[in-house]
Structure 1
Amino acid sequence: MAPSAPSVPPADHSGTGPGTGTRIAFGDCPASVPAPPAPDRVECGTVRVPLDHGHPEGRHLDIAVSRVPASGTPGERRGVLLVNPGGPGGSGLSYAVTKRAKLPERVRRAYDVIGFDPRGVGHSAPADCGDMGGLFDTPGADPVPRGREAERAYLASQRRMADDCARGVGEALPHLSTTETAHDMDDIRAALGERRIAYLGVSYGTYLGAAYAALHPHRTGPMVLDSAVGPWDWHEFDVRQARALLRQRQTLFGWLAEGGDEGSGHSGRSAHSAHSGRFGLGGTAEEVRASYAKVRAGLAARPVDGFGPAEFDRAVYRALGRTERWAGLGEGLRAYLRDGDVAGLRPEDPFDGPESRNYEAANRTVKCADGPGPGPSRVLRDIRALRRADPLPVLTGLEASACAYWSHTPAHRTPLSAPHAPPVLLVASEHDPVTPIEGARELRAGLPPGSRLVTLRNDYSHGVFASRGDDCVDGTVAAYLTGDGAPDADVRCEGPGLPRP
């Protein structure tokens, strides 16, 4: 079941609606929101918004909002900085606290940091898709279909997932979209009494930010889009991500083999190397790949304590996005090969917990509400192409496949082009496999003139600003947010490379 609504103080709805005088009655936060370090404080409230902004007289939702006030003097304050952690499906209520703690001090002094749970997420009318076509079964079915019968079973599971969401989400299904959430952001702006908002979005948060700038260009202040989703339909994005994950995994294999060229992801050792590598998985990328394939095949043949190929692929998907997780994955592979232990491969957070169930439901619901989905033939064609590229693809991120059977198919895609907003600052890791850098480059084509791209070269992780600890990136973004404007040209910062042994 999705989490129940928290005890959040109600908004003051004495005005006639969003943007017409309504203010947020801030008070205590739900217990799930951490307290910031003293003397900072966090406070929470709600904003009432229409389910369908095109028909504001109809059903309404309460959007949960958090605020950590600026720590500087009144003269230093520049306004509010809305933040979104990504997804779709990521909860932002606590993110105002956790992300703010990592921001450069000059940004913390200048802005009230505002977090919110987007509609369908967390404490904002959470979406519930029930069993989602068996997604939470343990062990799950092998997510890589091989052969006609397996492909039919895969499509059937996607149809069941779509049907489960239609039943669980009901009349809200077509309205849990990025477009509606972008309008909610403007309702939050109005309820805060601000003429404009500054914004920091990571991953899916960049897609949401671009949509806000397209819909409300004259309400948009400084906007940072970190690790950008490209301006493609969601299924196309998922497929591009799957290809990037294969490139990243090859780099991982070389790193696990030890002694490889850090820039290329290849081992550099002879194919006949007698070395067992850093983790005992092999001394070349090819030998490590063989060990990896052996682990996956073993779990497919005989799952361990509910941990099979689907669970394994999810663990790999998670590890590939952040290099600090690579050593743990290597140790987990070694432990399984040595004694059949899968403890090192399991993520700390249970996949089928309430927060995860809500995340997965909101993720599909938003993606499928954002534009026309792929047809079943396209889904199978792309899966076959990925299998031809590599017999062991990681298909965990093909979340928009369910949109092939969605009951409310939108006729138009979410608008992302925003030529009339102020210049935007994009930030990207050169080798990010989750949101490949070509997404930032293509998204920028529809953004205002003067928008710039800050690239962290020789970096392999997802999420950059106030995340990777890079002074060049953090300083450039902080200067932009606090009044210096966008740089005169794109900025290239030198990243850390692959992890050291």
Structure 2
Amino acid sequence: MTLRKRTVRNAAVVGVSTALLGITAPVTASAGAGVPAGSLAWTECEGAADPRQQCATLQVPMDYADPGGPRIGIAVSRIRSGNPDARRGTLLLIPGGPGGSSLNDPSGKGQKLPRSVRDAYDLVGFAPRGVAPSSSVDCGLETADLATSRLRPWPAPDGSIDGNLDTARRVADACVRDGGALIRHISTANEARDIDRLRAALGERRLSVWGVSYGTYVGAVYAQLFPHRTDRVVLDSNDDPDPARVARAWLAGHEQGVEDTFPHFAAWASAPGNPDRVADRAADVRPLFLRLAARLDRAPIPWPGANPQELNGNVLRQTMLDSLYRPGSYPTLARLMRAALEGTVPPAPQGPPEAVLQNVTAVGVGALCNDVAWPTSPAVYRKDVAESRAKYPLTAGMPRNAMVCAAWPYPPREAPVRITGRGPSNVLLVQNERDVATPLAGALRMREALGRRAVMVTVDSTGHDAYLANGNACGDRTVSRFLATGDRPATDVYCRD
């Protein structure tokens, strides 16, 4: 399979952003072509960063309730262990999202793993169902509806959610019309079933996994549905597994995630000598941000070439949310604030290709709306948004507002998977203390749900993605030791450095 690598980075530019994704697109082969179900025909993976990376396609049922029905292709990649004598098995890299891909990760972030871990495992990545170059979905949305500040349900300046409900209905209608049969079969449980088909095709009795962000929920669901098919499980930057709300709980978590993380930004943005400094004192940064957002609500600044083509209060709020994912993105928010204070804007951001955004958005719609039923009554969202705006002004009610799932016409095909402590005690959670996307409060709920199966490493660090990314040396050592040797802390631990 010939591949062309396309990487989309979250908050690399202002105003247009998406989740941190590694998206690979096929050049000459179509997913699922000519590969018998349950087998993997490995070929050279042209265009990969590491020439050792191989590619294959696995065929799986589109609908597991109809295993003899239509099949779809799952694109898979692999780099074998460099030391066959030390090899333990396979480490599957489960991406975030929904809509992320780990297809490039064996030759990307996988190479950041210490040699002891790379020797112990074949590193395997994949593009989950719906994500190109696996059998993919697309809703054919209007370009304006692909703006993150619109897909995230930021209320109107006065708190009205009428525009959000209109967007939800418009996006749902487009996905029903153009998403095809596959979009109804995109769910976390089906991704977990695909993973177990992949495990079998790899010839592994048990599978080790490293799941990040949404991948922690996928990994937890896999460990719940197939507990005795798991070896060593690392869940990094953990989603709240609340079975009654699922993605609604993840969205709501941004309230606390911003509160946990914004003070760290404020300290940075007021530090003497910082060329992007916005205030003299950390205590002044929050009120400055709130005043600036309110000013932009009243008087947006034209922003030709951006999507939307103006800098309004919600674009600033979305940029804040994106920029808090990692301290390295703080300058993006600070520079936008400084420009807006002067009544100007930076150059229009260059977003990812529209085809990538269309695909990622459609996969997100499928997974979020098929996993659990969302309330359909506008009154529910109006009440929740009003309460959220009063208590958490930085996020202005967005985390409790109506997304597309409020207008999704299809009921879930199965109940959400309830995460429990039943199964082997082989899970290690790693979690930054300050994480805007998957806050510590939600991670503690994952820890509670897993019970005796898990131990948790809380890391004194700021940013989304802990292990080998925005964590610290103590957390990295603890996770690496577990993956390489199986040595796991006896109890939950706190890593200061």
Tell me, yes or no, whether TM beats 0.5: yes
Q: How far apart, CA to CA, are the structure 2 residues paired with 1:14 and 1:328?
A: 45
Deviation readout 1:278-309 (Å, 9 max, x if unpaired): 64522234533344345435554233222423
Give the equivalent residue in structure 1 for 2:438.
435
SS at match of 1:170: coil
Q: How far apart, CA to CA, are the structure 2 residues paired with 1:151 and 1:143?
A: 8
SS at match of 2:179: helix
Give the equivalent residue in structure 1 for 2:238.
228
Give the equivalent residue in structure 2 for 1:265.
none
SS at match of 2:163: helix
Seen in structure 2, the aligned counterparts of structure 1 residues 8 and 65 have a Cα distance that, compared at 3 Å, is farther
Give the equivalent residue in structure 2 for 1:304.
303
Seen in structure 2, the aligned counterparts of structure 1 residues 242 and 467 have a Cα distance that, compared at 3 Å, is same
Q: Bigger CA drift: 463-472 or 114-123?
A: 463-472
Seen in structure 2, the aligned counterparts of structure 1 residues 13 and 487 have a Cα distance that, compared at 3 Å, is farther
Amino acid at match of 1:413: P
Q: How far apart, CA to CA, are the structure 2 residues paired with 1:99 and 1:277?
A: 30
Q: How far apart, CA to CA, are the structure 2 residues paired with 1:87 and 1:361?
A: 12
1:162 matches 2:169: no
Give the equivalent residue in structure 2 for 1:7.
28
Please say if residues 65 and 93 of structure 1, whose CA atoms lie closer than 8 Å, have aligned partners that are also in contact: yes
Report the aligned-residue RMSD: 2.9
Give the equivalent residue in structure 1 for 2:90.
80
Q: Bigger CA drift: 392-401 or 114-123?
A: 392-401
Amino acid at match of 1:433: V
Give the equivalent residue in structure 2 for 1:499.
none
| Mapping for residues 339-358 of structure 1, pairs under 5 Å | 340-343=344-347, 350=351, 353-358=354-359
Cα deviation for residue 137 of structure 1 reads 5.8
Give the equivalent residue in structure 2 for 1:271.
none
Pick from 278, 281, 299: which aligns with 2:278? Answer: 281
Q: How far apart, CA to CA, are the structure 1 residues paired with 2:35 and 2:279?
A: 67
Seen in structure 2, the aligned counterparts of structure 1 residues 94 and 490 have a Cα distance that, compared at 3 Å, is same
Deviation readout 1:111-137 (Å, 9 max, x if unpaired): 111000000112112221222694236
Please say if residues 83 and 92 of structure 1, whose CA atoms lie closer than 8 Å, have aligned partners that are also in contact: yes
Amino acid at match of 2:339: A
- For these two proteins, the number of residue pairs brought into alignment is 462
Give the equivalent residue in structure 2 for 1:498.
none
Seen in structure 2, the aligned counterparts of structure 1 residues 333 and 352 have a Cα distance that, compared at 3 Å, is farther
Please say if residues 242 and 397 of structure 1, whose CA atoms lie closer than 8 Å, have aligned partners that are also in contact: yes
Pick from 29, 43, 56: which aligns with 2:67? Answer: 56
Please say if residues 384 and 400 of structure 2, whose CA atoms lie closer than 8 Å, have aligned partners that are also in contact: no
Please say if residues 289 and 337 of structure 2, whose CA atoms lie closer than 8 Å, have aligned partners that are also in contact: yes
1:292 matches 2:289: yes
Give the equivalent residue in structure 2 for 1:481.
483
Normalising by structure 2, we get a TM-score of 0.85
Q: How far apart, CA to CA, are the structure 2 residues paired with 1:7 and 1:418?
A: 45
Cα deviation for residue 44 of structure 1 reads 0.6
Pick from 435, 456, 459: which aligns with 2:459? Answer: 456
Pick from 249, 252, 256: which aligns with 1:243? Answer: 256
Pick from 328, 342, 362: which aligns with 2:332? Answer: 328
Q: How far apart, CA to CA, are the structure 1 residues paired with 2:118 and 2:382?
A: 47
Cα deviation for residue 30 of structure 1 reads 5.8
Seen in structure 2, the aligned counterparts of structure 1 residues 164 and 395 have a Cα distance that, compared at 3 Å, is farther
Pick from 40, 49, 52: which aligns with 1:35? Answer: 49
Amino acid at match of 1:314: Q
SS at match of 2:203: coil
Seen in structure 2, the aligned counterparts of structure 1 residues 339 and 383 have a Cα distance that, compared at 3 Å, is closer
Cα deviation for residue 14 of structure 1 reads 7.4
Please say if residues 235 and 401 of structure 1, whose CA atoms lie closer than 8 Å, have aligned partners that are also in contact: no
Amino acid at match of 1:447: L
Report percent identity of matched pairs: 32
Q: How far apart, CA to CA, are the structure 2 residues paired with 1:11 and 1:129?
A: 21
SS at match of 1:114: strand
Give the equivalent residue in structure 2 for 1:101.
111
Please say if residues 187 and 367 of structure 2, whose CA atoms lie closer than 8 Å, have aligned partners that are also in contact: yes
Cα deviation for residue 26 of structure 1 reads 1.0
Give the equivalent residue in structure 2 for 1:266.
none
Cα deviation for residue 163 of structure 1 reads 1.3
SS at match of 1:112: strand
| Mapping for residues 169-188 of structure 1, pairs under 5 Å | 169-188=179-198
Q: How far apart, CA to CA, are the structure 1 residues paired with 2:132 and 2:93?
A: 15
Give the equivalent residue in structure 1 for 2:13.
none
Deviation readout 1:240-272 (Å, 9 max, x if unpaired): 22332144224423431237xxxxxxxxxxxxx
Please say if residues 144 and 393 of structure 1, whose CA atoms lie closer than 8 Å, have aligned partners that are also in contact: no
Q: How far apart, CA to CA, are the structure 2 residues paired with 1:6 and 1:191?
A: 24
SS at match of 1:24: coil
Please say if residues 9 and 44 of structure 1, whose CA atoms lie closer than 8 Å, have aligned partners that are also in contact: no
Cα deviation for residue 378 of structure 1 reads 2.6
Q: How far apart, CA to CA, are the structure 2 residues paired with 1:278 and 1:426?
A: 37
Normalising by structure 1, we get a TM-score of 0.84
Cα deviation for residue 358 of structure 1 reads 1.8
Q: Bigger CA drift: 428-437 or 321-330?
A: 321-330
Give the equivalent residue in structure 2 for 1:316.
320
Give the equivalent residue in structure 1 for 2:223.
213
Deviation readout 1:352-393 (Å, 9 max, x if unpaired): 632223222211210111112133333222222221124442
Cα deviation for residue 464 of structure 1 reads 0.9
Deviation readout 1:140-174 (Å, 9 max, x if unpaired): 699322447x4222211111111111112132232
Pick from 129, 140, 145: which aligns with 2:156? Answer: 145
Amino acid at match of 2:39: R
Cα deviation for residue 12 of structure 1 reads 9.2
Q: How far apart, CA to CA, are the structure 1 residues paired with 2:194 and 2:401?
A: 24
